[in-house]
Structure 1
Amino acid sequence: MSRMKGGEVIAEYLVKQKVPYVIGICGHGNVGILDALHAVRDRVTLVSPRHEQCAGHMADAYFRVKHQPVATLTSTGPGSANMVMSLATALSDSSAFMAITANVPTSQANRAPFQELYTHNQADFAQVLRPVVKRSFQPSRVDMLPLALRQGFDTMVTGRPGPVNLDIPYNVFQEEDEVELPPSSHVHGGHRPAASDADVSRALDLLAEARKPVFFIGQGTTLAEAGPEITALQKRLGIPVITSPNGMGCVPADDPLTLGFIGRNGAYPANQAGRHADLVLCIGTRFDDRSSSSWHPGYSWNFPRTKLLQVDIDPAEIGRNYPPTLGIIADAKAFAGQLLAAIPNRRDLGPENWAAWRAEVAGWQKEWDAFVRPNFDAITTPIRPEYIVGTLQKVLPEDVILSLDSGVHHNWFMQFWRPQRPQSMLNSWGYSSMGFGVCGIMGAQLAAPDRPCVAVVGDGGFMMAPYVVATAVEYNLPCVWIVWNNFAWGAIRDLQYGLFEGREIGTAFYKGNQGPGGERYNPDFAAWARACGADGVTVTRSEDLAGAVETAVRNRRPCVIDVHVDAEVRPPSTGTWQLPPIPYKEPLFGAPYRPS
């Protein structure tokens, strides 16, 4: 037992947990812990971006790359309220960080002091965060901190990961008590629940009966680091693999049986395989509306006619949208390992079972390539989206970490990007928050300082957080931002064209707010970068893109590349997506399959 201030307890426990970074912004509500962080500054680095939401996105991205949580620190009131977006983003995508928020002193609770929420309960900020965190703890005394810290770290990484809030009254940072630091939390991945032998046997029975099976994998597979096991199953059985965006990179992108993403903006072979499959082995992913063509039968899936084996570590996800033929609560890596171990004992399982199915899939691949590949080499001004994706695929190093913001550019990368490694394509998928890609790339750079980290972000998203360039210069983070500049909220503008007969309002950027037909407007993003002390380049010709990207990556300096993109070219839909009650559109390429 040692006599310690509350701030010291927190700082020392972060050291004990080997948390390398606290990412946050100072305020009157957390100034009481800054002195404790100063004392451990050789072991825990305080990184201060220019906005609290950015701090959360950085911490989220750090976990997605390294699968180890860091902490954020925000002050009472508005500073912590700015964390709502980044916490919701992390919770939706099963990412984890410890959000330390400050609150009013306990002696002033319920007296309406500066920045207290008190209408329903004193110091009520924890209730603001309740829907967007896995758990919120509110220790009101120093002697409550050790248990809250240990439980908080355990909660973050046990089972399905998620962010946790530690809401601390200002006085607790400075008050003292006799306390003992708790033991270290469980290491992420230490708990791997497995399936029963009976369930493994039944799963193999379903596989042996199938003529057209597919795997469908996602974030749960990535978080469990189950890529090697899924890859081994793919090769051993010769079964196609469909991925969600957060599952991309778990299996080799150059394998002809890696079909990519499914849904409206998925790849045609993935949608075809999903429509025609007779068994889907879903491991660690959800059937959300975008990966299921809004659950319309025949467009991406054909449940319940297609049998479903659904494996997830979170019981709440099993059967949420489709009732499974067999539901199993298990860790993705543990379950995939069990299948691998059991297959040699089954003579009825082998790649020869599905030779005809693989040939059918290969035919769809050829159709799709013939349709899309010519545009990848098209030299145009402004630049075609396919050319940008293809050029980046060619010139970016294999170990690149790509961070993508929400927007039409994300649709193109979901459809065509081929990540070479797991945990290297970072998406705000569940909550689709703008700003994640812009800010998160700096968290990825902290997690992987020796790897190239490149964010591809829309012009709208970049304008929500342009201060990131200043932060990158301040902390010497050699991130590259490629701004997809189409002078519009492009994804929503495309919806207006597709669903509302082109009646455009509020979605394109015009000088003087002239409206359609006027002069398009955006700031000079490259000049903004140079004003911050970073490199800035504007690219309007296809021929200049590769060189600009190669130079930016080679220079290892913060850089913004403003790329002017053809806004009139839209991703080819191969599934559908509905915004009820508006009728949904048929695929541009391919057709739904509804077996009789």
Structure 2
Amino acid sequence: MIKMTGAKVLTTVMEQAGISVVSGIPGHTISNFALEVGDNPWFKTILPRHEATAAFAADAYFRVSGRLMAAFTHAFPGAGNALTAVANAYADYSSMLFVAGNTASASMGRGGYQELSRQINDDLPQLIRPTVKRLWQPRSAADLAHHAVSALRVATSGRPGPVALCVSQEIWDQEVEVPSAQLAQFAFDARPRPDARSVERAVAMLASAKRPVILAGNGVNLGRARAQLRILVEQLQVPVATTASGKGCFPEDHPLSVGVAGWTGTATANEATRSADLILVLGARLAEATASSCTPNATFSPQCRIIQADICMSGIANTYPVEEALVGDLRAALEDLATAQKGSKNPDLSAWFAHLQEVRQAWEQTALASQAPGSTGAIGTGAVVQALRRSVEGPINLVNDCGKHHKWIVQQFEARADDYIVSSMGGAAMGIGLAGAVGAALARPEARTVAWVGDGGLAMSLSALPTLAEYRLPITLVVIDDAAYGVVRNTQMAQVGRTSYALFDGSGANPDYRLDFKTVAQGCGIPGRTVTDPAELAAAFQWAAQQNGPCVLDIRSEITSTHPSGGGTLRALDDTSRSLVWKN
């Protein structure tokens, strides 16, 4: 038995679990934990200027590496600041260890400083609970030891999700005797395999299909199953589409790739999934954005047969009926499918591929037309996407903030092998672009990290800029700047022909106002460059690649530019929408 304080207990468990990056802002409820972290050279400490930066960074860190990062906060003000980012990770099945310092137990309900106890004594756990996969509220240092191990076990098992420890202030100093057992005796990397009979039936269905397609979701990325997917695809020789959040799990320069399916997808991918007679769905929920709001024959046909593979039964057949379910770890499922199919003769799919090639050629012309350079002060976003792609030769971490600019990356940025494209499609919270890039750069420093943001999302997360400068993180921040919430403006104009709460012009009182991101960046110690002429794009990205630390490219973009339709859609689901998913 070893005697430790509560703070030492938690840092010891974290170290054994391999958590090496910890970010947060301390206050009196969590100061002693912060001191314990700072005293341990194992940990890389990141002090942000806003708690959301820590949590968004932890989210992206997990997405690109599969490893946990820890974020901590002080009392309910700090936790409240972080919770949009925590909930965003939860909605997208990403994960982190979230440690919330709480008011001392003796002060709870008695007017303790920064406590939250109006409805019941200690409302903070109730505030956090809906945003995480599981929350623990230890009442002693002994509890903390047990709860920390449980939290780390839950964080990455099954469908991942953020886990929270809400720890009262006095627990950090409490001493407790703990066994010297290693974490490995309590947490396991179990990978359940799907039922062998289901695998055999799935292989038989694939062998008899005339128009099969694989639809790969973010579960392939989260399950670290990219290599296994590629082996199976090349063995089967079938076309592959991905979801928006799954983008990057299969290289889009591969001849079998058809791009992203769904609302913001390509015409090639949507035609593949719409006309397929069998879809093998891997780690995808077929949620609204992927299923084009269940609109018949937009992305999916009601007559299509579906095989769905997922780590959790709750993710299967939520939207469409499924003929075969493969419940288990995706790496294991893909390995078992490849083993069962090996040696079998692939069906003749030449007519299917010829049809998709015709669609691809037409789509490429549509996409090319959308990549026009634009004009001075109104650069086309499609041209910026292609300039970025040409400027990066090796692997890239691209963290895609939410907004009009987001859809261009999903649809037209070619993701190659070993690229990680972080697109939030569950929570779709603005602010993940810049703050998430902090986590991506820490997780995969060997790759070039790009934060792709709109001016609206960047204005929400400007507090992350000093962090980039202070830690000299090599992040290229690309701002698609149209002086508006562009997607709001364009949607309103398309629907009703007028706008409200969309333009950054002081509600009409200051039409010439423009936030100067170059000057803001320079004030934080980051070199910046404003690009107004599309002819400057190549030189601007070359300049960015030559910077040793962070830099900002403020691209003055065309406000009316929208990505071309690939056949997908997003619309409000009406009362009869549920009936659309069932076969007649």
Q: TM-score range by the shorter chain?
A: over 0.9
Does residue 125 (structure 1) correspond to residue 143 (structure 2)? The answer is no
CA–CA distance in structure 2, aligned partners of residues 18 and 187 of structure 1: 14
CA–CA distance in structure 1, aligned partners of residues 537 and 186 of structure 2: 43
**Partner in structure 2 of residue 590 of structure 1:** none
- The answer to whether the 8 A contact 2:501-2:507 is kept is no
**Partner in structure 2 of residue 37 of structure 1:** 37
**Partner in structure 2 of residue 509 of structure 1:** 504
The one of 389, 392, 397 equivalent to 1:393 is 389
Q: Which runs of 5+ in 2 are unaligned?
A: 578-582
Q: Any idea what SS the aligned residue of 1:467 has?
A: helix
> Deviation digits for residues 331-368 of structure 1, max 9, x if unmatched?
1111111111111243xx41x42111111111100010
**Partner in structure 1 of residue 360 of structure 2:** 365
- The answer to whether the 8 A contact 1:150-1:182 is kept is no
- The answer to whether the 8 A contact 1:383-1:541 is kept is yes
Q: What is the Cα-based RMSD across aligned positions, in Å?
A: 2.2
The one of 314, 332, 337 equivalent to 2:330 is 332
- The answer to whether the 8 A contact 1:238-1:358 is kept is no
CA–CA distance in structure 2, aligned partners of residues 537 and 12 of structure 1: 44
CA–CA distance in structure 2, aligned partners of residues 13 and 425 of structure 1: 31
> Deviation digits for residues 438-497 of structure 1, max 9, x if unmatched?
200011111122321111100000000112221111111121111100111011112102
CA–CA distance in structure 2, aligned partners of residues 238 and 188 of structure 1: 38
CA–CA distance in structure 1, aligned partners of residues 180 and 295 of structure 2: 53
The one of 548, 555, 560 equivalent to 2:552 is 560
Deviation of the 1:386 alpha carbon? 1.1
**Partner in structure 1 of residue 451 of structure 2:** 455
Does residue 444 (structure 1) correspond to residue 443 (structure 2)? The answer is no
The one of 568, 575, 581 equivalent to 1:575 is 568
Deviation of the 1:122 alpha carbon? 2.2
TM-score by length of 1: 0.93
- The 5 Å alignment of 1:72-83 reads 72-83=71-82
**Partner in structure 1 of residue 429 of structure 2:** 433
Does residue 546 (structure 1) correspond to residue 541 (structure 2)? The answer is no
**Partner in structure 2 of residue 13 of structure 1:** 13
**Partner in structure 1 of residue 340 of structure 2:** 342
- The 5 Å alignment of 1:11-90 reads 11-40=11-40, 42-90=41-89
Deviation of the 1:236 alpha carbon? 2.1
**Partner in structure 1 of residue 580 of structure 2:** none
CA–CA distance in structure 1, aligned partners of residues 501 and 494 of structure 2: 16
Q: Any idea what SS the aligned residue of 1:247 has?
A: coil
CA–CA distance in structure 1, aligned partners of residues 429 and 511 of structure 2: 28
Q: Any idea what SS the aligned residue of 1:328 has?
A: strand
- The answer to whether the 8 A contact 1:159-1:191 is kept is no
CA–CA distance in structure 2, aligned partners of residues 407 and 181 of structure 1: 50
- The answer to whether the 8 A contact 2:152-2:187 is kept is no
CA–CA distance in structure 2, aligned partners of residues 107 and 49 of structure 1: 30
Distance change >3 Å, CA 190–CA 583, structure 1 → 2: closer
Deviation of the 1:70 alpha carbon? 1.4
The one of 424, 441, 448 equivalent to 2:420 is 424
Moved more, 290-299 or 574-583: 574-583
Q: What is the letter of the counterpart of residue 51 of structure 2?
A: E
Does residue 528 (structure 1) correspond to residue 520 (structure 2)? The answer is yes
- The answer to whether the 8 A contact 1:97-1:156 is kept is yes
Q: Which runs of 5+ in 1 are unaligned?
A: 585-594
- The answer to whether the 8 A contact 1:398-1:420 is kept is no
Distance change >3 Å, CA 378–CA 108, structure 1 → 2: closer
- The 5 Å alignment of 1:114-193 reads 114-180=113-179, 183-184=182-183, 190-193=189-192
> Deviation digits for residues 78-106 of structure 1, max 9, x if unmatched?
10111211111111111111000011112
> Deviation digits for residues 524-572 of structure 1, max 9, x if unmatched?
1001111111101000111111211222122122111100111122111
**Partner in structure 2 of residue 589 of structure 1:** none
CA–CA distance in structure 1, aligned partners of residues 244 and 550 of structure 2: 26
Provide the aligned length of Structure 1 versus Structure 2. Answer: 578
Q: Any idea what SS the aligned residue of 1:356 has?
A: helix
CA–CA distance in structure 1, aligned partners of residues 236 and 573 of structure 2: 40
Distance change >3 Å, CA 73–CA 185, structure 1 → 2: farther
Deviation of the 1:185 alpha carbon? 5.0
Deviation of the 1:429 alpha carbon? 1.5
- The 5 Å alignment of 1:247-266 reads 247-266=246-265
- The answer to whether the 8 A contact 1:157-1:188 is kept is no
Deviation of the 1:417 alpha carbon? 1.2
- The answer to whether the 8 A contact 1:248-1:422 is kept is no
**Partner in structure 2 of residue 217 of structure 1:** 216
**Partner in structure 1 of residue 349 of structure 2:** 354
**Partner in structure 2 of residue 307 of structure 1:** 305
Percent of matched pairs sharing the same residue: 31
Distance change >3 Å, CA 101–CA 25, structure 1 → 2: same
CA–CA distance in structure 1, aligned partners of residues 330 and 434 of structure 2: 30
TM-score by length of 2: 0.95
> Deviation digits for residues 166-203 of structure 1, max 9, x if unmatched?
01000001122222355325899932211222111110
CA–CA distance in structure 1, aligned partners of residues 427 and 227 of structure 2: 28
CA–CA distance in structure 2, aligned partners of residues 429 and 170 of structure 1: 36
- The answer to whether the 8 A contact 1:7-1:32 is kept is yes
- The answer to whether the 8 A contact 2:218-2:249 is kept is no
- The answer to whether the 8 A contact 1:157-1:189 is kept is no
CA–CA distance in structure 1, aligned partners of residues 392 and 268 of structure 2: 25
Deviation of the 1:375 alpha carbon? 4.1
Deviation of the 1:377 alpha carbon? 5.3
- The answer to whether the 8 A contact 1:428-1:437 is kept is no
Distance change >3 Å, CA 432–CA 217, structure 1 → 2: same
CA–CA distance in structure 1, aligned partners of residues 448 and 197 of structure 2: 45
Moved more, 105-114 or 445-454: 105-114
